[in-house]
Amino acid sequence: MHSFTAASCQLPAASCPLVTNRTVSDIGEHALISRITQRLAKPSWVVVGPGDDAAVLRPERGTFDVLTTDAIVEGVHFDRRFVPPDAIGHRALAVNLSDLAAMGARPRAALLSFVLPDQLEVADVDAMVDGLVALADTHRVAIVGGNITRSPRLGSGQGPGPLMIDVTATGSVKPRRVLTRAGARPGDEVYVTGTLGGAALGLKFFRSGADLSGPPGRGPEGSAPLVEKYLRPVPRVRMGMLLGRNRAASACIDLSDGLADGLRQIAAASGVGIAVDEASIPAVSGSETFYSDDYELLFTSRPAWKGRLRAVKSQAGDLPITRIGLVTKGGGVVLRTASGERELPAGYEHFR
Amino acid sequence: MHSFTAASCQLPAASCPLVTNRTVSDIGEHALISRITQRLAKPSWVVVGPGDDAAVLRPERGTFDVLTTDAIVEGVHFDRRFVPPDAIGHRALAVNLSDLAAMGARPRAALLSFVLPDQLEVADVDAMVDGLVALADTHRVAIVGGNITRSPRLGSGQGPGPLMIDVTATGSVKPRRVLTRAGARPGDEVYVTGTLGGAALGLKFFRSGADLSGPPGRGPEGSAPLVEKYLRPVPRVRMGMLLGRNRAASACIDLSDGLADGLRQIAAASGVGIAVDEASIPAVSGSETFYSDDYELLFTSRPAWKGRLRAVKSQAGDLPITRIGLVTKGGGVVLRTASGERELPAGYEHFR
């Protein structure tokens, strides 16, 4: 379990030898690590970057450290038949940046832990790293370390082990700007960013099988925007920071586990109920909004904070913010529809 | 990929219902997370612990943040036929604390990412968490968050996916106390802590198959201390901090990838050579010291720092520190034996 350590290939990125049709077991762990580390920027606050036992960072003055980890696993979170490698790398970081956004934190650094089947092509590793680094660069996140290990074939006659990426992301937030799930009070209003349901619809296009004969990353005609929403979700990093900076949210969560789960988590953590107006949910037409892993933010805001929310909206650019319900005294989450009220059914859970 | 979130079982640890012969798929992810989080302490500097989108920590004044991640994978780093679950949990944290020790850092917090086969027994998860939390408590490390996901069966007719634990550990170190691999200079002396080879010998006992019919965690007669060294390696947390605090080391690395690798990494990072006197290596009798994953520290120290090193020794208790060689100008690592000098052969590498 080598960490990202002093690289054997010390060439600049452009002159590193191109590897075609070779697998990770052909070139070995040290060469793989080298291919990754040479692509990474090292901002001034990274005291020790990849290449030692651990990374050392200079903290931002007057802030708290925010830390989160999330793994994505082949066969559970993605299917390599239709998710191209760069989208896998993108997703592995995006899911973590989305968590930092939900805390109001500015992302600063990430650690990247790969578990790779031995017959995976090196070009695929390169593409995963490309996808991850592109998103990291967008948000000025430094990849400061990581780890590569082999995914085992278990038992006899087994196929390759699953591909996994576990990313840990860290960020900073000023003490009075921390957003948690626990601050909602009865009377607060409930909001979501963006539109919901697109990711699930994008995935459905793939699962329908129409495109599985083509190259990965392409859905049927006309599905491009939804497919893109599924493949390369945009974490709401800036929106999370704006909500924290303007102190406009009493509770906040990201929706990478779906709206149903998000509503329930805020209700449970805050000890309140939530009533959602179904008609007000900004849904992609024809989608199932409650169980779609859209990387949007769900938050609550006090009625008296309308001015703060206007400030957020004016700074947030094109991203819509939609009121979808109200925080109530009673426990549980209820859905108000044209035909009356009903309880929200349970959300997605692994192992179930 | 639920993170450790607000627990459904809010009972104190002792009153949480005992689960016998049930698998992780029987009780589901939320109940699993609940079983873990209710056992975790929350020190005062943990502002937001498990149960939100991310953890929030109050940094230690005047220090840098130190971050490392390492995954251990079934079939690659451990064999469940002879490594009991508590030892798996112990190892997952120990390998990371060992990395922090090598930087001179005080460990503070860890994130725990589980990838679990669906037929794993809940009692085994409990035992893994027990092993991990016991080591965390010893070093006052707070488990501040994590993640649980399913290990997939890939393809048709496949057996269960591999069990994996990826831990990220974070700590703090004062700016002038950071230990890296890069500070060794020709003329420095080379030291190791403890004794080497025990872990490999302990593993060998298991691999010899003598005990595979018995309960996990037991080797043959008389092998207990070595088996323990393999199963529950002790990360040299205090020694790393003492080396940093006394500014007694010019370079430092942990030996969880073996002595051969450690020597080579320091030589490469510092741009020096190392000459090791084979006879001086503090080896367990009959062991292969160079490729044993003993969780000891390898470090270099200037000849003028003898006083600092004495201070370290006087504060380090029983842990021996042994001089094993010298930093040289020429590149590479050579081994001085009774029959002359030879180059050190390459170390262990995944995928190879």
Average of pLDDT values for B97-122?
A: 96
What digits encode the pLDDT tens for the residues A152-183? 887 656 678 899 999 999 999 999 999 999 99
From chain A, the residues in CB contact with B106 under 8 A are: none
Chosen CATH of A13-176 out of 3.30.420.40, 3.30.1330.10, 3.40.50.150, 3.90.550.10: 3.30.1330.10
Q: Which fold has domain A189-343?
A: Phosphoribosyl-aminoimidazole Synthetase; Chain A, domain 2 (3.90.650)
From chain A, the residues in CB contact with B63 under 8 A are: 59
Amino acid at site B326: L
- List, by residue range, all CATH 3.90.650.10 domains of chain A: 189-343
The phi, psi pair for A244, rounded to 5°, reads: -70, -45
The reply to whether residue B75 touches residue A164, judged by beta carbons under 8 angstroms, is no
For a pLDDT cut of 70, what percent of chain A falls above it? 87
> What pLDDT score does B218 carry?
62
Nearest CA in chain A to B57: A65
ipTM given for this complex: 0.90
From chain B, the residues in CB contact with A54 under 8 A are: 66-68, 99-100, 102-103, 105, 171
- Alpha-helix runs per DSSP H in B160-300: 198-207, 224-231, 237-245, 259-270
How far apart CA A146 and CA B65 sit, in angstroms, is: 16
Instruction: Give chain A's largest Cα–Cα span.
Output: 66
For a pLDDT cut of 90, what percent of chain A falls above it? 69
Listed in sequence order, the residues at least 6 apart from A205 whose beta carbon sits closer than 8 Å to its beta carbon are A211, A219, A220, A223, A226, A227
B291 Cα to chain A: minimum distance (Å): 13
Of B27, B67, B112, the CB nearest to A57: B67
> What pLDDT score does A268 carry?
94
- Report which of B278, B261, B286 is spatially closest to residue B324, judged by C-alpha positions: B278
How far apart CA B234 and CA B256 sit, in angstroms, is: 11
What digits encode the pLDDT tens for the residues B145-184? 999 999 988 765 667 889 999 999 999 999 999 999 999 9
> What pLDDT score does B217 carry?
64
Per-residue pLDDT band for B216 (boundaries 50, 70, 90) equals low
What digits encode the pLDDT tens for the residues A55-100? 999 999 999 999 999 999 999 999 998 899 999 999 999 999 999 9
Question: What is the number of CB-based contacts under 8 A between chain A and chain B?
Answer: 300
CB atoms within 10 A of CB B22: 13
Of B25, B57, B257, the CB nearest to A65: B57
What digits encode the pLDDT tens for the residues A234-279? 999 999 999 999 999 999 999 988 999 999 999 999 999 999 999 9
CB atoms within 10 A of CB A159: 15
Q: What three-state secondary structure class fits B338?
A: coil
User: Which contiguous run of DSSP H or E holds residue B293?
Assistant: none
Average of pLDDT values for B193-220?
A: 75
The reply to whether residue A351 touches residue B147, judged by beta carbons under 8 angstroms, is no
Asked if residue A216 lies in contact with residue A83, where contact means CB atoms within 8 angstroms, the answer is yes
From chain A, the residues in CB contact with B178 under 8 A are: 47-48, 56
- Tell which CATH architecture fits domain B13-177: 2-Layer Sandwich (3.30)
How far apart CA A183 and CA A179 sit, in angstroms, is: 8
Q: Which of A120-129, A202-211, B88-97, B115-124 has the lowest mean pLDDT?
A: A202-211
How far apart CA A77 and CA B125 sit, in angstroms, is: 22
The reply to whether residue A65 touches residue B51, judged by beta carbons under 8 angstroms, is no
- Report which of B36, B37, B156 is spatially closest to residue A159, judged by C-alpha positions: B156
CA atoms within 13 A on the CB side of B87: 19
Q: What three-state secondary structure class fits A229?
A: helix
CA angle A97, A100, A101 (to 5 degrees): 85
Q: Is the pLDDT of residue B25 over 80?
A: yes
B339 Cα to chain A: minimum distance (Å): 31
Q: Is the pLDDT of residue B219 over 70?
A: no
From chain B, the residues in CB contact with A237 under 8 A are: none
From chain B, the residues in CB contact with A145 under 8 A are: 67-69
The reply to whether residue A56 touches residue B102, judged by beta carbons under 8 angstroms, is no
Asked if residue A105 lies in contact with residue A66, where contact means CB atoms within 8 angstroms, the answer is yes
The reply to whether residue A52 touches residue B180, judged by beta carbons under 8 angstroms, is yes
What digits encode the pLDDT tens for the residues B267-311? 999 999 999 999 999 998 877 788 888 999 999 999 999 999 999
Of A116, A146, A162, the CB nearest to B151: A162
> What pLDDT score does A313 carry?
96
The phi, psi pair for B71, rounded to 5°, reads: -105, 145
CB atoms within 10 A of CB A160: 16
- List, by residue range, all CATH 3.30.1330.10 domains of chain A: 13-176
Of B52, B148, B159, the CB nearest to A180: B52
From chain B, the residues in CB contact with A163 under 8 A are: none
Of A59, A105, A161, the CB nearest to B59: A59
Of A2, A73, A168, the CB nearest to B69: A168
- List, by residue range, all CATH 3.30.1330.10 domains of chain B: 13-177
Per-residue pLDDT band for B8 (boundaries 50, 70, 90) equals very low
How far from A279 is each of A284, A323, A340, CA to CA, in Å? 12, 11, 12
Per-residue pLDDT band for B343 (boundaries 50, 70, 90) equals confident
> What pLDDT score does B224 carry?
82
- Alpha-helix runs per DSSP H in chain B: 24-37, 85-102, 122-138, 198-207, 224-231, 237-245, 259-270, 306-315
- Report which of A35, A37, A44 is spatially closest to residue A121, judged by C-alpha positions: A35
Higher pLDDT residue, A133 or B4? A133
- pTM value is 0.92
> What pLDDT score does A120 carry?
94
From chain A, the residues in CB contact with B168 under 8 A are: 67, 69, 111, 168
Q: Is the pLDDT of residue A352 over 60?
A: no
The reply to whether residue A158 touches residue B153, judged by beta carbons under 8 angstroms, is no
